[in-house]
């Protein structure tokens, strides 16, 4: 009996020991303090906002809880207690769900607890009617990469339009090399402003960067900026062949429009070009992204002229041409020729095979920014949607359709890179071994038409 | 005349003596009615004794009716019978498994069980023969403490046998098998369980050190059946039944599959993959039924004869085993013969020879997973409108959009078989020039020929994805000739009655030689059976060949001593020289010592003998080695590689491995302590042992540092690191008999704790199983290493709060229903550093429970085996639950997977993209409790004695692996090691997948003796 009694008390004390309270092991202390950086935060649907506060405690912080029940936020940040943390700068970002309305507002509740168990609360207002878009700057002239031929004129007109919903505070134009630092302070917070001013350039060739900045008038101001690279030269660094009608946006393609020259000797530029129809109309451009300022076409006398109002040069019949042009002497020639390079026929019936003798060439693509493609030629084989087909109208052209997902790079390839064409800078698609390095081309996501011209060693990837 | 009186007097005296005596005669037989020659028949309390003759008969004179006769024989329980009025006494001796005078094989010798000082477990062949298994170690499971057997399904599969855990990370963990004194490597697939007389497991180093450099994983000694003095006795054993293969998963039917895939697509923002699922109702392709046999036959048969005289005993048997594969194609078939002859030419000179010819053939497809994984909509055959009539017989099958190759077609194409022929000849000569000195020489020659043939027919099921445009043929012939020669001299002597000593010295030599030739060709004119020859290949003929050799020379010795049956000492020493190592370390020494105190024989224990039948303490120490590394690692090798240089493919050479002149054995040092006990005339008996073994100089294949100039893939074997295993083995046996009812139970309990003590450098991390396991100092090797899956995101609040302290999402692509991975180190990032230990493949303990019952002529046995505390990676989870692939899923997955708050906290939402990497991140999602209890065998038998003109006829019905209790949701909880070819034998343990399961089997048995 005594034994049982002993066991009972042993068990009883064991339970008591096991049930000791779990209260804080830290001594009592003062309440923690919280200083928020602002009592009102602006947010917007699909946009992150920041909750900032300085937390402190005389003994040590234990945790901070951030709650916005309506937006399903209940975040607890716990702090290490060895060593104790006496102060903490809270900086917490949270994205407002897209489905919330801009007229809504909420309370952000902060609960700060210290290691002694003291707890304080703080509330911050959250408004969703914030305006966070930077002023948009639309460049009229000069466009990115513009070439100013000093022999023609050393004046540089600068025209751009700024738009902002909450109104524009000021616009600033800077170019350190040219000593331009001009700020236009606007009154009345207009939502739109057009800047128009002509600057004079030195007569020596140089590259310039023009930086345009615009700031809006929102409670938390937003600033937008844009940099434009300009080349002032006595010679054209490059000439492009454009077979698009005037007015066409030349920046929507991924690669190839307008077409970069093939050979250059001084100011003698040589192109190889395929006219896919009779009476094909072409121009020569002094810059890649626009018809202005240098567009070479025919004047009323039928002579080559640097004039954005000139008429197109007409290639009379369908086929391959060698075209030579000199923008200084304003002379050009267009000579039709018959290609003699290898024809990659019947690639639709290509076959992957480990035995080289049994392989049949196919042409697909490896690269990045192309849906379905990676850098594995097996992927290029199994992703049949990437396979190019022969253009029935031109044996030297392989055609297809790709979905681009962003900045792209590519090598058109068969099994184990044989055959392969590497896409390098300026739309040049060099056949292996060729030049090294794949160039990256920014492209908007979407479906594109692809034309690989094996005779020209050029690829044209244009928005469908 | 004087002599006449003397003779008369003697005759009178004899008559007077015999006049008061009673002549008793009779026969001594065993339970199977077989006469036992040589049984000691002693009149108790006198020196009068005799022995039974060839037919078990005896005649003995006893002084009076109150006399008692004692009958005793090795391996049987002694019986004492009072004379009373009897003049004829026929005895049936009962076999005893616990008798202390039972003989135990200990390596180059045999000793009485009572004299064993080290850790050795014995099991009789009869116990192993209760199960119908291809590999006898399968039957060993749960019957021996300290031995963990992990079953492997499939014809010809070899179970994993671990004796007291593991002592190596990179080399084989299999024990050394020694058959009739000859080391036979690390597999005994070639041996029928009907050939085995007994098996001894040498568990500690003090027992196994006599096998030196190959004993670190333990040694299993197998003694095969030999002839016994007596008339010719024939045995026929047949066990035949069906192995059952039920589909382990309830896979979705066509309609359900369409619903599941549509859900996955919709959840990822895509339109339906298979619109209008109801259109597939009733159009399910039952792949399982089309290609997998639910029942496959298995047969184990043996016919033997044994007998002999004092001068010559013989035993011959022919054994057959066949297990068909579940595909209806291939399997495993084995035919072996064993012919053993032992001769006793004189009292001093004896000899024996055993011939063991064997034939095995095996080969079976391995794609049963594909029958579950292929989509249920694709038909087996191409629709008629897609056939042109020009297809060959392998091209008429349909292609699945799931990218799973048509499994029915794959089985149809299967032609990959191996035939193996072996002949083992094992002979000995034994000479005993003086009493107690035995000189023995034994030699064995093993000749083998293995032929592997493979033919792959050409076919085009899908021109882009599923085809072989040209057929191929391949054949490899491998020959081996191995020989062993061992010579021993053993002197046994008792001094001054109480000092018993024995000394054995000897040497052994072994050589293993092999070579192969290989041929390959393509473009055999057609796929017909008769054309499947290398000579028929018309393209790309290729050939190769190689040869290899290794040898071992050893000196061995053992000294045993005991004083008065109380204090025992055994010491062994082996010196091994191996061809695998260079001069610096060619020779190594492997000593051992063990002591035993049989306390029961002390005078002060006399009073306890009514209760105690046996009590002794044991302690042992020893060193053993592991040399199971490739034969020629001391050589530097040049590898071949192809590189593209200047656009040309160039055949190049590079240093692929470098010699390490200092390479040597892994050394395992082992200490063990044990206690053996028996109570109430050994009704209750058992043993408890503790062991600890440390491995030093572990062998690792290491890469060279970059600055050495060697390519990154150049490697060198080197001795670095150490590890330790420790644990407890417990065996408890109970047996009793009440009238006609007898019963017994054996319980085995084994624990193993493994820990890495050091690696080649501090903080080194050894990854295994594609970076899914980690081996580091202070931890068990090969623990599962991955992310912690902390449930699923049930609501937006949970999703929003899974950020760092600045609100940056830890899983930016996570959506509701995705897995929440734990930021283990709390650094606010989810990356490789958050991987941690998420499970262990090693069991905390294993338990075996073996029950046997007998009532009159009925007998019933039940064997259970359990592994507790190990985890298993269920790799099939990805196949079964992941909506990203087009393979079939489990039925009802759309409801099992998360589809709203609270619907599941385990199976993630269905997703085509799996952007959250629910399945591609290796996490605790895959880790399951691998504990299980399995009824290994349940057998009911009935025996007829002396009926139908037979000595014995026994019929039995048994079920193997009928029930398994486990929480593991994979195919089979018996999951062994990883791929040894990638060094994952240990580091890849515990990865379950579509492994061929250990199948439930129903069997009928027939045993006939006449």
Chain A residue with the nearest C-alpha to that of B794: A72
| Window from A405-414, B210-219, B309-318, B409-418 with minimum mean pLDDT | B210-219
Q: pLDDT confidence of A272, banded at 50, 70, 90?
A: very high
Q: Would A136-233 and A347-463 be classified into the same CATH topology?
A: yes
pLDDT of the residue at B387: 84
When pLDDT is averaged across residues A244-255 and rounded to a whole number, the result is 91
Answer whether residue B98 shows pLDDT above 70.
no
d(CA B487, CA B507): 5
ipTM of the complex: 0.73
Chain A residue with the nearest C-alpha to that of B465: A382
Answer whether residue B897 shows pLDDT above 90.
yes
pLDDT of B299-355, one tens digit each? 999 999 998 888 899 999 999 999 999 999 999 999 999 999 999 999 899 999 999
pLDDT of the residue at B34: 75
Q: Which of B469, B647, B807 sits opposite A92 (nearest CB)?
A: B807
**E-strand spans in A37-130?**
40-42, 48-56, 61-68, 73-78, 87-95, 105-114, 119-127
Q: Which of A71, A72, A91 sits opposite B806 (nearest CB)?
A: A91
Alpha-carbon distances of B554 from B207, B244, B489, B508, rounded to whole Å: 17, 48, 15, 5
| Window from B571-585, B671-685, B848-862 with minimum mean pLDDT | B571-585
Answer whether residue A155 shows pLDDT above 50.
yes
Number of CB pairs < 8 Å for A and B?
A: 38
Q: Which residues of B touch A432 (CB under 8 A)?
A: 647
CATH number of A347-463: 2.60.40
Answer whether residue A18 shows pLDDT above 50.
no
Which DSSP state fits B175?
Answer: P
Chain A residue with the nearest C-alpha to that of B796: A72
Under an 8 A CB cutoff, do B806 and A94 touch? Answer: no
Q: Where are the alpha helices (DSSP H) in A274-350?
A: none
DSSP string across A396-449: EEEEEEEEEEEEEEEEEE-GGGSSEEEE-GGGBEEESSS---PPPB---SEEEE
pLDDT of the residue at B215: 86
Q: Which residues of A touch B803 (CB under 8 A)?
A: 75
Chain A residue with the nearest C-alpha to that of B522: A355
Q: Which residues of B touch A355 (CB under 8 A)?
A: 470, 540
Chain B residue with the nearest C-alpha to that of A48: B807
pLDDT of the residue at A81: 87
| Window from A280-289, A295-304, B37-46, B893-902 with minimum mean pLDDT | B37-46
Q: pLDDT confidence of B712, banded at 50, 70, 90?
A: low
Under an 8 A CB cutoff, do A355 and B807 touch? Answer: no
Q: Which residues of A touch B469 (CB under 8 A)?
A: 353, 358
Answer whether residue B648 shows pLDDT above 80.
no
What angle is formed at CA B560 by the lines to CA B556 and CA B562, rounded to 5 degrees? 175
Under an 8 A CB cutoff, do A75 and B647 touch? Answer: no
Nearest-neighbour CA in chain B from A358: distance (Å): 9
d(CA B926, CA B789): 9
Under an 8 A CB cutoff, do B797 and A73 touch? Answer: yes
d(CA B369, CA A275): 57
Specify the CATH architecture of the domain A136-233.
Sandwich (2.60)
pLDDT of the residue at B428: 95
pLDDT of the residue at B285: 95
Under an 8 A CB cutoff, do A73 and B795 touch? Answer: no
Chain A residue with the nearest C-alpha to that of B803: A75
Answer whether residue B5 shows pLDDT above 60.
no
Under an 8 A CB cutoff, do B807 and A384 touch? Answer: no
Q: Which of B465, B647, B797 sits opposite A74 (nearest CB)?
A: B797
When pLDDT is averaged across residues B428-453 and rounded to a whole number, the result is 95
pLDDT of A421-461, one tens digit each? 999 999 999 988 877 888 999 999 999 999 999 999 999 99
Q: Which of A48, A76, A358 sits opposite B469 (nearest CB)?
A: A358
All structural domains of chain B with their residue ranges = 20-93, 103-227
Answer whether residue A408 shows pLDDT above 60.
yes
Under an 8 A CB cutoff, do A358 and B470 touch? Answer: yes
Under an 8 A CB cutoff, do B800 and A74 touch? Answer: yes
Which of residues B655 and A261 earns the better pLDDT score? A261
Answer whether residue A212 shows pLDDT above 80.
yes
B408: part of which helix (H) or strand (E)? helix B407-413
Q: pLDDT confidence of B6, banded at 50, 70, 90?
A: low
Q: pLDDT confidence of A88, banded at 50, 70, 90?
A: very high
Q: Which residues of B touch A93 (CB under 8 A)?
A: 806-808
d(CA A132, CA B749): 71
When pLDDT is averaged across residues A209-214 and rounded to a whole number, the result is 95
When pLDDT is averaged across residues A297-303 and rounded to a whole number, the result is 92
% of chain B surpassing 70 pLDDT:
95
When pLDDT is averaged across residues B677-684 and rounded to a whole number, the result is 89
pLDDT of the residue at B740: 86
pLDDT of the residue at B886: 92
What angle is formed at CA B24 by the lines to CA B18 and CA B28, rounded to 5 degrees? 150
Interface of A to B at Cβ within 8 Å reads 48, 71-77, 91-94, 353, 355, 358, 382, 384, 432-433
CATH class of B20-93: mainly beta
d(CA B269, CA A262): 45
Under an 8 A CB cutoff, do A73 and B800 touch? Answer: yes
| Window from A122-136, B402-416, B783-797 with minimum mean pLDDT | A122-136
All structural domains of chain A with their residue ranges = 33-127, 136-233, 240-337, 347-463
Alpha-carbon distances of B493 from B74, B560, B596, rounded to whole Å: 21, 11, 19
Q: Which residues of A touch B808 (CB under 8 A)?
A: 93
When pLDDT is averaged across residues B745-772 and rounded to a whole number, the result is 89
Whole-number mean pLDDT of chain B? 88
Q: pLDDT confidence of B96, banded at 50, 70, 90?
A: low
pLDDT of the residue at A401: 94
Answer whether residue A10 shows pLDDT above 50.
no
pLDDT of the residue at B790: 96
d(CA B68, CA B81): 5
pLDDT of B100-137, one tens digit each? 567 777 878 888 877 788 888 888 888 887 777 778 88
C-alpha B479 chain-centroid distance: 25
Q: Which residues of B touch A385 (CB under 8 A)?
A: none
pLDDT of the residue at B36: 81
B893: part of which helix (H) or strand (E)? helix B893-896
Q: Is A464 helix (H, G, I), strand (E, B) or coil?
A: coil
Answer whether residue B90 shows pLDDT above 90.
no
pLDDT of A318-355, one tens digit each? 999 999 999 989 999 999 999 999 999 888 888 888 77
Q: Which residues of A touch B805 (CB under 8 A)?
A: 77, 92
When pLDDT is averaged across residues A76-105 and rounded to a whole number, the result is 93
Whole-number mean pLDDT of chain A? 89
Answer whether residue B214 shows pLDDT above 90.
no
Answer whether residue B847 shows pLDDT above 70.
yes
Specify the CATH architecture of the domain B103-227.
Beta Complex (2.170)
Nearest-neighbour CA in chain B from A379: distance (Å): 12
pLDDT of the residue at B99: 53
CATH for A33-127 (3.30.300.30, 2.60.40.10, 1.20.1740.10, 3.40.50.720): 2.60.40.10
Which of residues B705 and B280 earns the better pLDDT score? B280
% of chain A surpassing 70 pLDDT:
95
């Amino acid at each position: 009996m005594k034994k049982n009694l002993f066991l009972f008390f042993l068990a009883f004390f064991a339970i008591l020991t096991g049930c000791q309270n779990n209260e804080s092991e830290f001594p009592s202390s003062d309440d923690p303090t919280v200083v928020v950086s602002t009592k009102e935060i602006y947010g917007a649907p699909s946009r992150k906002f920041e909750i900032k506060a300085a937390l402190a405690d005389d003994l040590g912080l234990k945790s901070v809880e951030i709650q916005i029940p309506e937006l399903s936020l209940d975040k607890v940040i716990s702090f290490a207690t060895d060593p104790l943390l006496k102060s903490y700068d809270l900086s917490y970002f949270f994205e407002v769900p897209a489905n919330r309305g801009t007229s809504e507002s909420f309370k952000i509740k902060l609960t700060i607890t210290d290691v002694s168990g003291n707890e304080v609360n703080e509330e911050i207002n959250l408004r969703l009617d914030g305006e966070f878009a930077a002023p948009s700057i639309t460049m009229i002239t000069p466009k990115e990469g513009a070439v100013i031929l000093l022999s023609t004129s050393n004046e540089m007109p600068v025209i751009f339009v700024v738009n902002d919903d909450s109104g524009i505070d000021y616009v600033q134009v800077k170019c350190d090399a040219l000593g331009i630092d001009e700020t236009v302070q606007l009154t009345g917070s207009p939502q739109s402003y057009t800047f128009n001013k002509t600057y004079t350039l030195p007569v020596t060739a140089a590259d310039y960067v023009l930086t345009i900045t615009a700031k809006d008038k929102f409670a938390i101001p937003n600033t937008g900026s844009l940099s434009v690279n300009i080349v002032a030269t006595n010679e054209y660094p490059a000439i492009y062949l454009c077979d698009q009608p005037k007015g066409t946006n030349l920046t929507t393609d991924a690669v190839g429009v307008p077409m970069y020259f093939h050979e250059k000797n001084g100011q003698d530029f040589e192109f190889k070009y395929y006219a896919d129809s009779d009476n094909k109309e072409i121009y020569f451009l002094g810059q890649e992204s626009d018809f202005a300022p240098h567009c070479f076409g025919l004047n009323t006398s039928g002579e080559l002229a640097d004039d954005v109002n000139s008429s197109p040069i007409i290639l009379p019949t369908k086929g391959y041409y060698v075209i030579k042009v000199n923008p200084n002497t304003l002379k050009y020639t267009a000579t039709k020729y018959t290609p003699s390079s290898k024809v990659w026929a019947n690639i639709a019936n290509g076959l992957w095979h480990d035995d080289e003798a049994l392989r049949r060439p196919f042409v697909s693509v490896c690269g990045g920014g192309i849906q379905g493609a990676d850098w594995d030629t097996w992927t290029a084989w199994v992703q049949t949607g990437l396979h190019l087909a022969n253009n029935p109208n031109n044996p030297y052209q392989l055609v297809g359709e790709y979905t681009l997902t962003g900045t792209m790079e590519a090598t058109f390839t068969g099994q184990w890179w044989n055959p392969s064409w590497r896409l390098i800078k300026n739309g040049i698609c060099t056949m292996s071994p060729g030049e090294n390095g794949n160039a990256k081309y920014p492209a908007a996501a979407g479906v594109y038409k692809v034309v690989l011209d094996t005779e020209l060693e050029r690829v044209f990837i244009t928005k469908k | 005349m004087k002599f006449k009186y003397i003779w008369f007097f003697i005759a009178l005296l004899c008559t007077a003596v015999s006049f008061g005596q009673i002549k008793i005669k009779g026969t001594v037989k065993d339970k199977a009615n077989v006469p036992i020659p040589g049984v000691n028949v002693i009149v108790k309390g006198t020196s009068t004794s005799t022995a039974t003759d060839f037919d078990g008969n005896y005649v003995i004179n006893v002084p009076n009716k109150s006399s008692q006769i004692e009958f005793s024989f090795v391996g049987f329980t002694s019986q004492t019978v009072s004379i009373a009025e009897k003049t004829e006494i026929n005895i049936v001796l009962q076999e005893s498994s616990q008798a202390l005078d039972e003989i135990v094989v200990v390596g180059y010798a045999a000793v009485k069980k009572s004299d064993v000082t080290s850790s050795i477990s014995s099991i009789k062949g009869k116990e192993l023969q209760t199960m119908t298994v291809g590999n006898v170690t399968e039957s060993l499971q749960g019957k021996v403490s300290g031995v963990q057997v992990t079953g492997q399904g499939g014809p010809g599969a070899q179970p994993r046998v671990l004796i007291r855990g593991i002592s190596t990370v990179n080399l084989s963990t299999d024990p050394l098998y020694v058959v009739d004194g000859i080391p036979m490597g690390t597999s005994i697939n070639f041996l029928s369980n009907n050939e085995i007389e007994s098996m001894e497991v040498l568990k500690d180093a003090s027992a196994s050190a006599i096998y030196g450099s190959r004993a670190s994983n333990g040694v299993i000694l197998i003694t095969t059946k030999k002839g016994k003095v007596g008339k010719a006795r024939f045995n026929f054993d047949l066990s035949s039944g069906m192995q059952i293969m039920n589909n382990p998963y309830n896979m979705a039917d066509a309609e359900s599959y369409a619903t599941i895939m549509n859900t996955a697509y919709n959840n990822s923002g895509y339109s339906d993959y298979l619109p209008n699922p109801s259109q597939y109702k009733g159009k399910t392709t039952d792949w399982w039924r089309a290609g997998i046999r639910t029942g496959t036959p298995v047969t184990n048969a043996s016919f033997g004869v044994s007998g002999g005289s004092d001068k010559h005993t013989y035993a011959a048997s022919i054994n057959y085993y066949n297990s068909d594969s579940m595909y209806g194609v291939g399997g495993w078939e084995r035919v072996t013969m064993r012919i053993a002859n032992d001769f006793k030419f004189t009292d001093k000179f004896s000899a024996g020879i055993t011939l063991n010819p064997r034939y095995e053939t095996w080969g079976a497809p391995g794609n049963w997973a594909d029958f579950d994984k292929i989509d249920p909509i694709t038909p087996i055959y191409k629709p008629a409108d897609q056939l042109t009539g020009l297809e060959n017989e392998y091209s008429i099958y349909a292609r699945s959009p799931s990218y799973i190759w048509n499994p029915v077609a794959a089985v149809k194409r299967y032609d990959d078989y191996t035939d193996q022929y072996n002949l083992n000849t094992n002979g000995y000569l034994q000479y005993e020039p003086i009493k107690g000195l035995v000189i023995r020489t034994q030699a064995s020659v093993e000749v083998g020929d293995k032929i592997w043939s493979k033919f792959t027919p050409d076919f085009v099921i899908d021109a882009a994805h599923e085809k072989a445009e040209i057929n191929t043929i391949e054949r490899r012939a491998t020959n081996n000739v191995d020989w062993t020669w061992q010579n021993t001299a053993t002197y046994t002597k008792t001094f001054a009655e109480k000092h018993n000593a024995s000394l054995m010295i000897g040497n052994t030599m072994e050589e293993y030689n092999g070579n192969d030739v290989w041929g390959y060709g393509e473009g055999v004119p057609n796929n017909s059976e008769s054309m499947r020859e290398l000579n028929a290949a018309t393209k790309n003929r290729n050939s190769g060949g190689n040869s290899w050799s290794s040898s071992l020379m050893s000196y061995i010795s053992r000294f045993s001593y005991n004083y008065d049956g109380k204090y025992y000492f055994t010491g062994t020493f082996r010196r091994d020289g191996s061809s695998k190592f260079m001069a610096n370390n060619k020779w190594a020494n492997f000593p051992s010592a063990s002591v035993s105190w049989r306390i029961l024989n002390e005078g002060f224990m006399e009073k306890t003998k009514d209760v105690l039948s046996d009590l002794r303490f044991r302690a042992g120490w020893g060193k053993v080695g592991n040399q199971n590394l490739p034969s020629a690692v001391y050589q530097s090798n040049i590898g071949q590689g192809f590189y593209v240089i200047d656009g040309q493919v160039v055949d190049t050479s590079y240093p692929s491995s470098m010699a390490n002149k200092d390479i040597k054995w892994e050394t395992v040092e082992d200490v063990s302590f044990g206690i053996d006990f028996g109570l109430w005339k050994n009704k209750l008996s058992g043993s408890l042992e503790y062991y600890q073994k440390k491995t030093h100089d572990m062998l690792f294949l290491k890469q060279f540092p970059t600055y050495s100039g060697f390519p990154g893939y150049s490697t060198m074997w080197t001795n670095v690191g150490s590890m330790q295993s420790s644990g407890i083995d417990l065996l408890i046996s109970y047996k009793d008999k009440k009238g006609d009812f007898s019963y017994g139970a054996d319980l085995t309990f084994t624990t193993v704790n493994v820990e890495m003590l050091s690696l080649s450098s501090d903080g080194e991390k050894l990854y295994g199983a594609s970076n899914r396991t980690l081996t580091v100092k202070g931890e068990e090797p090969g623990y599962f290493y991955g992310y912690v899956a902390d449930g699923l995101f049930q609501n937006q609040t949970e999703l929003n709060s899974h950020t760092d302290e600045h609100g940056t999402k830890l899983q930016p692509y996570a959506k509701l229903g995705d897995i929440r991975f734990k930021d283990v180190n709390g650094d606010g990032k989810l990356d490789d550093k958050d991987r941690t230990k998420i499970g262990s493949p090693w069991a905390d303990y294993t338990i075996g429970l073996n029950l046997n019952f007998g009532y009159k002529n009925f007998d019933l046995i039940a064997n259970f085996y359990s592994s507790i505390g190990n985890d298993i990676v269920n790799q099939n989870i990805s196949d079964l639950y992941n909506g990203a692939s087009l393979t079939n899923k489990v039925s009802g997955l759309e409801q099992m997977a998360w589809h709203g708050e609270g619907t599941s906290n385990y199976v993630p939402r269905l997703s085509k993209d799996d952007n959250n990497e629910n399945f591609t991140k290796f996490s605790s999602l895959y880790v399951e409790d691998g504990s299980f209890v399995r009824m290994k065998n349940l057998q009911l038998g009935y025996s007829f004695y002396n009926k139908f003109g037979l000595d014995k006829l026994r019929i039995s019905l048994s079920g193997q692996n009928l029930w398994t209790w486990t929480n593991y949701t994979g195919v089979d909880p018996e999951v062994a090691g990883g791929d040894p070819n990638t060094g994952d034998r240990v580091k890849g343990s515990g990865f379950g997948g579509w492994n061929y399961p250990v199948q439930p089997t129903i069997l009928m048995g027939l045993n006939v003796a006449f």
